[in-house]
Amino acid sequence: MPPFLGKHAIVVGAGMAGLAAAGALVDYFERVTVLDRDGLPSDAAPRAGTPQARHVHVLLAGGQRAFESLFPGFTAELVKAGAVPMRMALDVRSEMAGYDPFPQRDLGWDNYSMSRPLAEYVVRKELAKRANVELRENSHVNAIVAAGTNGTAVGAIRLAGRHGGEDEILSADLIVDASGRGALTLATLQSMAGPAPAETRIGVDFAYSTAIFSIPDDAPGDWKGVFTFPNPPASGRGALLMPIEGERWILSLGGAHGDVPPGDLDGLRAFAGELRTATIARAIKGAKPATEVARFVFRESVRRHFERMASFPRGLIPLGDAVCRFNPIYGQGMSVAAQEACILRDILATRAAAPDPFEGLPQAFFAAIQEVIDTPWATAAVADFAYPQTRGERPPDIENTLKLAVALNDLAARDADIHKLTVEVRQLLKPRSAYRDPAFVARVQTLMAQAQMATTAPRPMHGHG
Ligand SMILES: Cc1cc2nc3c(=O)[nH]c(=O)nc-3n(C[C@H](O)[C@H](O)[C@H](O)COP(=O)(O)OP(=O)(O)OC[C@H]3O[C@@H](n4cnc5c(N)ncnc54)[C@H](O)[C@@H]3O)c2cc1C
């Protein structure tokens, strides 16, 4: 057990990022308090504070391994609770223009499929096993409070009083803002008369409609899930059908840039019938719905550049969506949050013997997390800018990057090694710089020469791996 760096740490938000952050802090503080404005269910139920949890939530392999490293035994608990093991690239039928389906191959590892409330419930249970962690529900944090008057540090939070009572002040050595929107951090910076962080925004207007079905007895046996990819720029419609706990399927239908799927079950079935392929419409034809349709519109991805700020309050760390909200269709948010939490834990570990372990901590954290944000951000941005309607600054040379991505996808269809690497990048197991690895480049060149691939007709970009 390492020596404690401080007496008390507070995490605001018991979503996936807050729970992961608490897992990172638990060995380094005498007490860790996790506060959420919601009541926290005693089972895998959705709750008001995370409306997105009613929609399909893919846990990428990079995220699953990060949660496993924060909570050893997490994966076994997930499976015990009903998560469905999925052989990577074998058990999901991926349908994209030109490939119906994309070659299904065993890439050598399992992913796990479950509802977001189940994933959160399992992490919550794992965290609650730690004696020095307190999970406080129905606790709305009104503000993060400055320490002293010179505007360089925070030292407490202000908790809304219950039943109209007085606000409560809770002090801490470290406060992690995992409240999703990051409004608390931005308000803190403003109250200290500091500048707001620069932001990069990508407007995608992606609309979800989701329902859960019991898996019918006559469900196809050659896949466990189906991903019908959007076909940009012609169509931003796509769908993901995945198995979840309790012998159920969760189906999220989506449309980009104003193509909004309907909010009723008949409409949902009709929209499924208009997808490029009939696989999903056929699968749900006789399936009994277990929920009504839930809807969500995701307007824009937002990356806050805290790493570029000249100064940042000591004692405060924003993490998860509070730093970067990704277009959800690539399934990255929970995984990036868990990887950021691992980085926070590893930085704290290096400071165990430091005379002042909190000196420069936010800056060290912001610098280190860029490597886990860069890959998913770039992966999403390249695919998002395949639509001319996408708002934001187009990455330089995007047309060539899109052509390269299509060529790489074609090679991945033909070659298992290339397929594996592209999936490893999309699953956040490897950075995009792996595409510059000399062995990989040589393999691509050989394959391209063999096929004498001079030019190929443009084909669409694709999301989930
Ligand atoms: C439609 C949709 C689909 C998605 N699909 C995927 C997917 O397939 N895979 C994936 O990895 N990610 C997905 N995501 C993203 C994912 O939900 C988030 O990135 C991830 O949950 C991390 O979020 P978070 O914990 O930072 O914030 P949140 O999940 O928003 O949690 C924030 C928590 O803070 C609490 N809170 C907020 N303010 C306060 C306050 N003032 N006081 C106390 N508590 C407060 C809230 O109640 C909530 O519990 C999806 C998102 C959307 C919108």
Per-residue pLDDT for the chain (465 aa), expressed as one digit of tens each? Answer: 667 999 999 999 999 999 999 999 999 999 999 999 999 999 999 999 999 999 999 999 999 999 999 999 999 999 999 999 999 999 999 999 999 999 999 999 999 999 999 999 999 999 999 999 999 999 999 999 999 777 799 999 999 998 888 999 999 999 999 999 999 999 999 999 789 999 999 999 999 999 999 999 999 999 999 999 999 999 999 999 999 999 999 999 999 999 999 999 999 999 999 999 999 999 999 999 999 999 999 999 999 999 999 999 999 999 999 999 999 999 999 999 999 999 999 999 999 889 999 999 999 999 999 999 999 999 999 999 999 999 999 988 899 999 989 999 999 999 999 999 999 999 999 999 999 999 998 888 888 888 764 555 555 555 443
Beta strands in 215-313 (DSSP E): 225-228, 238-244, 248-255, 294-305
The alpha carbon of 208 and the centre of ligand 1 are apart by a number of angstroms equal to 15
Beta strands in 147-190 (DSSP E): 154-159, 168-171, 174-177
Q: What value does the CA radius of gyration of the chain take, rounded to a whole number of Å?
A: 22
CB 215 within 8 A of CB 249: yes
Q: Quick one: CA dihedral 105, 110, 111, 115, positive or negative?
A: positive
Domains with residue ranges and CATH for the chain: 6-49+60-83+117-198+300-379 (3.50.50.60), 85-112+202-297 (3.30.9.90), 398-451 (no CATH)
Which residue minimizes the CA distance to atom 37 of ligand 1? 179
- Which ligand 1 atom minimizes the distance to the CA of 325? 19
CA atoms within 13 A on the CB side of 3: 8
Q: Quick one: CA dihedral 109, 113, 116, 122, positive or negative?
A: negative
For ligand 1, mutation pick of 37, 158, 206 (most atoms within 8 Å of CB): 37
The alpha carbon of 144 and the centre of ligand 1 are apart by a number of angstroms equal to 19
| CA angle at 30 for the pair 69 and 137, rounded to the nearest 5° | 75
Residue 352 has a pLDDT of: 87
- Which ligand 1 atom minimizes the distance to the CA of 335? 11
Which residue minimizes the CA distance to atom 41 of ligand 1? 141
The alpha carbon of 325 and the centre of ligand 1 are apart by a number of angstroms equal to 9
The alpha carbon of 268 and the centre of ligand 1 are apart by a number of angstroms equal to 25
For ligand 1, mutation pick of 16, 113, 136, 209 (most atoms within 8 Å of CB): 16
Both tokens of residue 239? Answer: 């769908």
Task: List pocket residues of ligand 1, CB cut-off 6 Å.
Answer: 12-18, 35-38, 49-50, 52, 55-58, 140-141, 178-180, 208, 296, 298, 320-322, 328, 331-335, 337
- Which ligand 1 atom minimizes the distance to the CA of 178? 26
Both tokens of residue 19? Answer: 């729970």
Residue 76 has a pLDDT of: 98
Both tokens of residue 290? Answer: 């277990």
Can you tell me which residue has the tokens 């991903």? Answer: 227
Provide the residue type at 267 as one letter: G
CA dihedral 162, 15, 323, 171 (to 10 degrees): 40
CA separation for the pair 317, 321 (Å, rounded): 12
Nearest C-alpha neighbor of 174 from the set 285, 319, 295: 319
Mode of pairing for the β-strands spanning 316-318 and 174-177: parallel
Which residues does residue 242 pair with via DSSP β-bridges, in sequence order? 250
Which residue minimizes the CA distance to atom 18 of ligand 1? 333
- Which ligand 1 atom minimizes the distance to the CA of 51? 53
CB neighbour burial string for 374-384, b if at least 16 within 10 angstroms, e if fewer: ebbbebbbbbb
Can you tell me which residue has the tokens 């925004």? Answer: 201
- Which ligand 1 atom minimizes the distance to the CA of 210? 1
CB 344 within 8 A of CB 365: yes
Can you tell me which residue has the tokens 């980085």? Answer: 343
Alpha-carbon distances of 244 from 30, 81, 114, rounded to whole Å: 37, 10, 4
Q: How far is CA 99 from the centre of its chain?
A: 26
